Every structure is written in structure tokens, then in C-alpha cells.
Amino acid sequence: MLTKSTPEALTVEQLLFQGQPCLKLQHACGDHVLVALHGAHVLSWVSAGQEQLYLSPKSTFDGHSAIRGGVPICFPQFNQRGPLPKHGFARNLRWHPYLHPYQQQQTHQLAYLEDEWTCLSLRIETSPETRSYWDQAFELILTVQLQPSTLQLKLSLRNAGTTALTFTGALHTYLRVDDIGATRLLGLEGQPVWDAVRDCHEYGPSTLYFEGEFDRVFEASAKPLQLLDGERRLQIEQSQSLAHTVVWNPGSVRCASLPDMTADGWKQMLCVEAAQVLTSIALAGGQTWQGWQRLRVL
């Protein structure tokens, strides 16, 4: 539910980062998030005075290319599993700030309060450019939501046409870690998983450790995951409307082949993605869908 707010409770700063227009949303507690208009790409989330996301120092910021790190939005296709460019087109196009009807009538501020969240929304919709990739009528909104120690990213899709559409995708979250060799991920025990590196199907162990290239698509767990990174603890949850959790680290060999990664970048990141990979979501004309990922520093 949208609620009234005082100006001092909501802070949005418009700025340039690496030459790209961005919005910085700050919570009253001091936590803040930086979002580029290009791709509605979350570049940074600082909580408890620490950066929680990984952004490659060799990322390309040209307003056209995908950015390496942060939280890219993969839509309406995951990876190369379809006819569209890799991971679709949403991460490569400019999004625009979106004002909900409440904001338009009451505040005209970019930020707003929803329940107990401090929020900011961006939107992309059907255009000649999107039609050149995907001949569908749609509206896609990313809502960035902050609470103390917590970041939630919510995607809302509306089929604006009369015919059904299908899609896959992900919130392709790059988490910062101090040392991938000492990092552990808990909570996927017993979940069916496809190991893309070895091309085999198995079940998740009680604890995931990372050595070499790691690329697995898990059936999402109903319970939260925990990332253990030295003294740091991060809880990771996702909506049931996203059926898969992708866990990825390129390892040293694969990382060396990525021009927008430093040679040792693989040691400092782990992707834990709320995703829809192995099956498509179908949405009839006029219908809506929502999916989210929630990160909380423990």
C-alpha cells in the first residue's frame, strides 16, 4: 500500500556515474542504492557502510552495452536459450523513472513509501526499438525497495496486447565476496539442479563451495539461502513466481576470456540469481506477473 511521506524521509539524487545518468535512492538509515537508467541496472547497494554488490572495474559504460556486475535484468530471454540477443534486450536499453498514480496526484517525487519500504520505480514499454527484437506489447517495471539492511528488487510485467506472450529471464545479481575460495552458500540442499559445466542433473548438497568454473541452475528453494563470506552473512530470498536459482562464478580460466572482467575478478564475486530458465512463463493478453529477489544483511 502506498503511504504518504515527508520529504526528509525520501532522498533521490540524480547524478552521473561513469558518464551514465543514474538515480541514487537513500533510506533514512543511511543505506543507499545506485541505479543506472541504462538497463535499470542496479550498480551499487551500500548497507551497514559496506558495498554488497560486485561491479567489475572493467565494465563498459557506453549506454548501449550490457554492464558487468551489479544486477542486470535479463528479459525476455535468459542467456542464449532463444532467438533474441543473449539475455534479451532489457539490460541494453534506456529505462525511464515511473511515477505511480499516487505520486502523480500527491507528491511528484521520484521516491515513495510503500508499506514500510522506501521505493523507486523505472519502466520500459513497447517501442519501435523493442518491436525490432520482440513483437509483443508489454510494460515492465522495476521497483527498487529499501529497508534497513534489506534490498528488494521487484519486476512487474503487464501483457499490454491481446495475444499471449512467453518469457524467461532473471535478476542476475552479482554479490561481492572477499574470497570466493572461502565463500559458502547454504539452503539449496536436496534441490534438483542442472550443472551446466558438466551437463548433468543431480541434487544440491548441504553446502556449496566454489573452486573453478561453477554454473548451476537449481529448482528454487522455498526457504531463504545464506551466503557466508568471512564474518559477513547475507540472506537471499526470491518469489515463488521465479522457479529457478542460478549460481555462477566463471573461475579463473573463463574469467580470463571475459574482456570486461579483471583477471582476478572471479575471486571477488558470486552470482545468485532469481531466475526463470528451464521453462517459460506464459502471460495472456491483459494479465500481469510479478517476481522479486530480497537481500538482507544479517
2 pLDDT more than 50: no
221 pLDDT more than 60: yes
Q: How many independent structural domains does the chain possess?
A: 1
Order across the sheet with 32-36: list the strands: 11-17, 20-26, 32-36, 41-47, 50-51
Stretch 200-223: mean pLDDT: 97
pLDDT in tens, 169-208: 999 999 999 999 999 999 999 999 999 999 999 999 999 9
> In angstroms, what CA-CA distances link 294 with 1, 12, 171?
18, 21, 11
The helix or strand, by DSSP H or E, that contains position 111, with its residue range, turns out to be strand 111-114
- CATH code, 14: 2.70.98.10
What is the full DSSP assignment across 19-60?
A: TEEEEEEE-TTS-EEEEETBTTEEEEEEETTEE-B-B-TT--
Predicted local confidence at residue 102, as pLDDT? 60
pLDDT in tens, 103-116: 555 556 788 888 88
List the beta bridge partners of residue 215: 248
- For residue 20, the number of C-alpha atoms closer than 13 Å in the C-beta half-sphere is 27
Stretch 225-231: mean pLDDT: 96
Which residues are marked as active site? 172, 273
pTM beyond 0.85, yes or no = yes
The helix or strand, by DSSP H or E, that contains position 129, with its residue range, turns out to be helix 128-133
User: Which structural domain range is residue 128 located in?
Assistant: 2-297
Predicted local confidence at residue 269, as pLDDT? 98
DSSP class of residue 173 equals -
pLDDT in tens, 6-49: 444 567 999 999 999 999 999 999 999 999 999 999 999 999 99
